[in-house]
Amino acid sequence: MAEPMTFDAIPQAPNLRTGLVNTLIAQIESGDLAPGQRLPTEQEIVAATGVSRTVVREALAALRARGLITTRQGLGAFVAKDPMPKTFSVLPDDLESIDEVLRVLELRMGR
Amino acid sequence: MAEPMTFDAIPQAPNLRTGLVNTLIAQIESGDLAPGQRLPTEQEIVAATGVSRTVVREALAALRARGLITTRQGLGAFVAKDPMPKTFSVLPDDLESIDEVLRVLELRMGR
DNA sequence: TAATATTTGTCCGTATGTATG
DNA sequence: CCATACATACGGACAAATATT
């Protein structure tokens, strides 16, 4: 497999999830992870960082909620083609995933 | 072994979290859970529903993301006084279900 | 067509930390 | 100090989707 990418600590982060989120955002914005490019798998991130898959998944969920990545079951996570739409404003800091909300609304409409 | 726990409230939910979210939303909108009122504790919800705490926490996170509740560490979760006029940005991950998104927006505008 | 490997999705149980009362 | 209750983190297990063989 490809050599594990390095995830620097960012010890200023209040928790592991935020640290990983900041790390990935930095890599996306720096172009280290280019638009359309696939991210390392969750397992690879786990191996590279040492954090649990829970933390990795929460971090990916946060990035997905911000539109920075998309995830597809069976395929992986990909850097969004058009990151930073800049239309998201004061989303709550702990917003887990907006598609959850969408799913809820879908269901409540009784499709 | 525990019996296959069933969600009596909204059985059409695709998963436990969504079912719990829908149940709580229904209780909030029906006034069964009034604005400012504290929700049952996570443990109480666990006991009442039989789902894991993970599911409960994810459901509460979804409600919090939608602005329906606020949570305070050490205190509990409370029904929001003002349902937040949240900025609802449609993100790439959700575009595959554009019909649902449109219906969601219609729902939001129609109430 | 079918089987298999890969990868994300979901669910569960547990432990520890932190804030409030 | 102690009890309550949410926040964070770990690990495991299985399901579902995808691509490949």
Query: What DSSP letter does each residue of A80-103 carry, written as one string?
Result: -SS---S---S--TT---HHHHHH
| Number of CB atoms found within 10 A of residue A84's CB | 12
CA nearest neighbour of B50 among B7, B97, B84, B15: B7
Buried b (16+ CB within 10 A) or exposed e, A45-69: bbeebebeeebbebbbbbbbbbbbb
- Which pLDDT belongs to residue B46? 81
- Mean pLDDT, residues B6-15: 44
CA nearest neighbour of A63 among A45, A46, A77, A82: A77
In angstroms, the CA B24 to CA B62 distance is 11
- Strand C closer than 7 Å to the CB of A73? yes
Given a cut of 50, whether residue A102 has pLDDT beyond it is: no
CA nearest neighbour of B18 among B63, B77, B72, B65: B63
Closest-approach residue (CA) in chain A for B70: A92
Chain B residues whose CB is inside 8 A of the A102 CB are 94, 97, 100-101, 104
- Which pLDDT belongs to residue B21? 79
CA nearest neighbour of A76 among A56, A95, A90, A92: A56
Condensed to tens digits (0 to 9), the pLDDT of residues B13-47 reads: 556 777 777 788 888 878 888 888 888 888 888 87
Query: CA at A55, C1' at D10: how many angstroms apart?
Result: 9
Condensed to tens digits (0 to 9), the pLDDT of residues A24-83 reads: 998 998 889 999 999 999 999 999 999 999 999 988 888 887 788 998 999 999 998 876
Which residues fall within 8 angstroms of residue B44, CB to CB, at 6 or more apart? none
Q: Is B100 on the interface with A (CB under 8 A)?
A: yes
- Mean pLDDT, residues B65-78: 81
Global pTM reads: 0.62
Query: Could you tell me the pLDDT band of residue B70, with boundaries at 50, 70 and 90?
Result: confident
Query: Could you tell me the pLDDT band of residue B76, with boundaries at 50, 70 and 90?
Result: confident
Given a cut of 60, whether residue B79 has pLDDT beyond it is: yes
Assign 3-state DSSP to chain B and report helix, strand, coil percentages, each to 5.
50, 10, 40
pLDDT: is A47 or B104 the higher one? A47
Question: B16-29 and B53-66 are packed helices; what angle lies between their axes, rounded to 10 degrees?
Answer: 50
Residue A97 identity (one-letter amino acid): S
